[in-house]
Amino acid sequence: MEQRKIFQQDLLPKYECLLFDVDDTLYPLSSGLLEECTHNIIEYMVQRLGIDEKEAPGLNQFLYKSYGTSMAGLKAVGYDFDYDDYHSFVHGRLPYEKLHADFHLRTLLLSLPVRKVIFSNANKAHVAEVLKRLGLEGCFDEIICFETLNQSDYASGSAFAPTSILCKPQEIAFEVALTKADINPRKTLFFDDSIRNIQAAKRVGLHTVWVGSSLHSEGVDFSLESIHNLKEALPELWQRDDFDKSENRNKNYRKMGVETSVVA
Ligand SMILES: [Mg+2]
């Protein structure tokens, strides 16, 4: 009986969940979307918040570095603004046509016999638009985004509005996200292009994959120059099929068909 228990332990998958950032992780930094986003943020600071044109770029950098996102920083230093207005100004005007369908990544994701969850600081509409442009709709089991961590009923200016915005790399944001999605960090691989997000993820117990880099750094378990290298770097993620089926372990995999491989 005891031996059987040990045998079953050995067969348990190391990873039950894959947690993915979106921007500059599911598509490359070279898309140019980040520069456009930064440009829109600076324009928002000047046009909507009345911040001096010359000071806005430096302040934006400072706030991003200090508070996780520019939006969280603006809120933390006392600017009051409507979250929806910010998102439609900053994300709503992005040139999404810069992103193209990535059939190779879609095939990889759909063939993975593991639960897949998005964890992005961006708003729901942005995440949905990016996934649509990349052809990745239906590849993820759940989406954790701005609205998940920052309830929409906390309207700006409301007496009940929180004084801060929850976002990566705050450890509390990871903890809330993991609890909401019922994710065990010890059995989860987290993918992100930001080293500070990776390091925060490590502190809360997640296994980490630094995407967009081939370097090693503190808190990094694996690094991938591109998310496309996933299968070469972590082939074990695909090696659970027989066991999973026999143990009724992964319902999602059985629901999803494996598509014909098409290289983007
Ligand atoms: Mg990112």
Q: Give the tens place of pLDDT for each residue, 84-110.
A: 999 999 999 999 999 999 999 999 999
pLDDT of 5 reads: 55
Q: For the chain, give every domain's residue range.
A: 2-28+99-255
Q: Give the tens place of pLDDT for each residue, 56-93.
A: 999 999 999 999 999 999 999 999 999 999 999 999 99
CB 168 within 8 A of CB 199: no
pLDDT of 234 reads: 94
Q: What is the pTM (predicted TM-score) of this model?
A: 0.84
Res 137 pLDDT > 80: yes
Cα(24) to ligand 1 centroid in Å equals 5
CATH superfamily of 2-28+99-255: HAD superfamily/HAD-like (3.40.50.1000)
Cα(186) to ligand 1 centroid in Å equals 22
Cα(51) to ligand 1 centroid in Å equals 26
Q: Hey, is 94 helix, strand or coil?
A: coil
Instruction: For the chain, give the mean pLDDT.
Output: 86
Cα(4) to ligand 1 centroid in Å equals 43
Q: Give the tens place of pLDDT for each residue, 181-210.
A: 999 999 999 999 999 999 999 999 999 999
Measured between its terminal Cα atoms, the distance across the chain in Å is 50
Cα(168) to ligand 1 centroid in Å equals 10
Phi, psi of 199 (to 5 degrees): -70, -35
Res 20 pLDDT > 70: yes
Cα(6) to ligand 1 centroid in Å equals 39
Q: Give the tens place of pLDDT for each residue, 229-264.
A: 999 999 999 986 544 444 443 333 332 222 223 332
Distances in Å between the Cα of 33 and the Cα atoms of 59, 132, 218, 263 are 20, 15, 28, 22
Mean pLDDT of 44-55: 97
Residue 173 identity (one-letter amino acid): A
Cα(112) to ligand 1 centroid in Å equals 22
Q: Give me the DSSP letters along 149-214.
A: HS-TTS-TT-TT--SS---TT-HHHHHHHHHHTT--GGGEEEEES-HHHHHHHHHTT-EEEEET--
Q: How far apart are CA 202 and CA 70, in angstroms?
A: 23
